[in-house]
């Protein structure tokens, strides 16, 4: 069984329970989907994900409000991460056959003075904050000061990120991006080796009305080796990137990429791809789950976003033909019912569907996210992913 088009959707941060090594990350008890279900007390309505087998993944502890189904429309399972971190970059690279084996740089106390001075010297602007902070809280607490002084708000989190926030009326986007590009250029190697430099523009008249814009841009490390996206592109296949996929892979291995402003926009762009006559892989990231609800520890908003996604998923399912394969997964967890504000080390769901299927069943626990990419390569008869194991032959 092979397919002309494969659609991969990463529902960013939607974990499905603590991974076997969660203790190494201080994440014992994390359960993104489980805790959202508990919050909604049975009112989490995800009919399309349910019929794909979402709760079948954990039959002894189904997600509250999401029933186990006797005959799911496809295959279900979960995947374990082998990368040394739990960042979006780690998760996506591993999906595409390139696990992150060297730890990235983390700066829980803020960035070294010499790095900050380089950014100040290059930009001609003073840096303020320089410590872990919530992205919405930091502009509330320091945004008015930034507007008055023209300073750069630099902050981090539990991930390997250096984020720079600035009001667009004070520091235009072009300048902010240029500063972030410089920060990227000096943090590629040790002693910093930071995974992502993130531009965080915001607007608004005062601290009670500041909002971050959709012009966020992630300047990631370029992949340290060949990925499955590179392999697909080299084989002459279409590789369509939707959302922050282009940023995560620094544009490498992509034949066409589109920026999105929301989950809703990401699904609309994916539906547009479903209406195109292409041969290859459409890869979508829906970041709102993570950025807007997981990090902000907002289970209510997270649940609403999941239900909105599920509704659009119904439209996508209806648009697929026998020559299409859909695979839905996540890149890590970010449990809104857990302590802190950072990603959580969890298994991620794996849901696979095609109208061509005559059977359904469990894909079990996959040892690595790289099985995702290995299956895509196998479908197109492309080699190169030595980390993952294809489950293509299990699809019937």
Q: Answer whether CATH 3.30.70.1250 is correct for domain 113-220.
A: yes
Residues 6+ positions from 320 with CB-CB distance below 8 Å: 7, 274, 326, 353, 354, 355
C-alpha angle 269-273-279 in degrees, rounded to nearest 5: 150
CA-nearest of 284, 370, 294 to 80 is 370
Q: Which CATH superfamily is domain 5-100+224-394 in?
A: Alkaline Phosphatase, subunit A (3.40.720.10)
Q: What is the pLDDT of residue 321?
A: 97
Q: What is the pLDDT of residue 383?
A: 97
Residues 6+ positions from 311 with CB-CB distance below 8 Å: 48
Cα 278–chain centre separation: 24
Residue 263 CB neighbours (<10 A): 23
Q: Rounded mean pLDDT of 68-80?
A: 98
Domain boundaries, the chain: 5-100+224-394, 113-220
d(CA 334, CA 341): 8
DSSP codes, 270-336? HHHHHTS---EEEEEEE-HIIIIIITTT-HHHHHHHHHHHHHHHHHHHHH--TTEEEEEE-SSB--T
Q: Does the pLDDT value for residue 393 go beyond 90?
A: yes
| pLDDT tier at 268, thresholds 50, 70, 90 | very high
- Give the chain's end-to-end CA distance (angstroms, integer): 7
Q: Does the pLDDT value for residue 158 go beyond 80?
A: no
Dump pLDDT digits (tens) for 111-141: 999 999 999 999 999 999 999 998 999 999 9
Q: Does the pLDDT value for residue 364 go beyond 80?
A: yes
Fold match between 5-100+224-394 and 113-220? no
Q: Does the pLDDT value for residue 341 go beyond 90?
A: no
Q: Rounded mean pLDDT of 271-276?
A: 98
DSSP state of 103: P
DSSP state of 351: E
User: 366 has which bridge partners?
Assistant: 79
Q: Does the pLDDT value for residue 100 go beyond 80?
A: yes
Dump pLDDT digits (tens) for 228-246: 999 999 999 999 999 999 9
What average pLDDT is seen over the chain?
A: 97
Q: What is the pLDDT of residue 32?
A: 98
Report whether 121 contacts 145 (CB < 8 A): no
Q: Does the pLDDT value for residue 103 go beyond 90?
A: no
DSSP state of 176: H
Q: Does the pLDDT value for residue 275 go beyond 80?
A: yes
Q: What is the pLDDT of residue 159?
A: 80
Is this prediction's pTM over 0.85? yes
Residue 351 CB neighbours (<10 A): 27
d(CA 5, CA 54): 23
Binding positions for Mn(2+)? 12, 290, 295, 331-332, 343
Q: What is the pLDDT of residue 85?
A: 92
d(CA 393, CA 381): 13
Binding positions? 12, 290, 295, 331-332, 343
Q: Does the pLDDT value for residue 328 go beyond 80?
A: yes
Alpha helices in 8-82 (DSSP H): 32-40, 47-52
């Amino acid at each position: 069984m092979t397919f002309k088009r494969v659609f991969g959707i990463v529902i960013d941060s939607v974990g499905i329970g603590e991974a076997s090594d969660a203790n190494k990350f201080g994440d014992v008890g994390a359960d993104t989907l489980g805790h959202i279900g508990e919050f909604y007390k049975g009112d989490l309505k995800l009919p399309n994900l349910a019929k794909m087998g979402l709760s079948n993944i954990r039959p002894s502890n189904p997600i509250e409000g999401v029933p186990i189904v006797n005959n799911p429309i496809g295959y279900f399972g979960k995947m374990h991460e082998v990368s040394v971190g739990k960042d979006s970059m780690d998760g996506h690279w591993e999906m595409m056959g390139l696990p992150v084996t060297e730890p990235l740089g983390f700066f829980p106390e803020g960035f070294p003075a010499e790095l900050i001075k380089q950014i100040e010297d290059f930009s001609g602007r003073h840096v303020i904050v320089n410590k872990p902070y919530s992205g919405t809280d930091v502009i509330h607490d320091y945004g008015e000061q930034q507007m008055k002084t023209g300073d750069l708000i630099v902050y981090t989190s539990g991930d390997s990120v250096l984020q720079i926030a600035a009001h667009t009326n004070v520091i235009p986007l072009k300048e902010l991006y240029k500063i972030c590009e410089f920060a990227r250029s000096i943090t590629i190697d040790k002693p910093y080796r930071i995974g992502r430099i993130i531009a965080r523009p915001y607007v608004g008249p005062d601290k009670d009305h500041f909002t971050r814009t959709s012009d966020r841009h992630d300047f990631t490390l370029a992949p340290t080796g060949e990925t499955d996206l590179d392999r697909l592109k080299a084989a002459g296949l279409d590789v369509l990137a939707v959302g922050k996929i282009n940023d995560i892979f620094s544009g490498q291995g992509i034949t066409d990429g589109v920026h999105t402003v929301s989950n809703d926009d990401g699904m609309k762009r994916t539906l547009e791809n479903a209406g195109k006559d292409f041969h290859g892989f459409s890869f979508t990231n829906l970041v709102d789950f993570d950025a807007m609800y997981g990090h902000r520890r907002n289970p209510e908003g997270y649940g609403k976003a999941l239900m909105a996604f599920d509704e659009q998923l119904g439209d996508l399912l209806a648009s697929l033909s026998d020559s299409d394969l859909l695979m839905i997964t996540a890149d890590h967890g970010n449990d809104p019912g857990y302590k802190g504000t950072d990603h959580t080390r969890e298994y991620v769901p794996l849901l696979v569907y095609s109208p061509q299927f005559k059977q359904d069943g469990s894909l079990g626990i996959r040892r690595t996210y790289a099985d995702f990419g290995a299956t895509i390569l196998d479908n197109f008869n492309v080699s190169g992913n030595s980390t993952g194991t294809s489950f293509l032959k299990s699809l019937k």
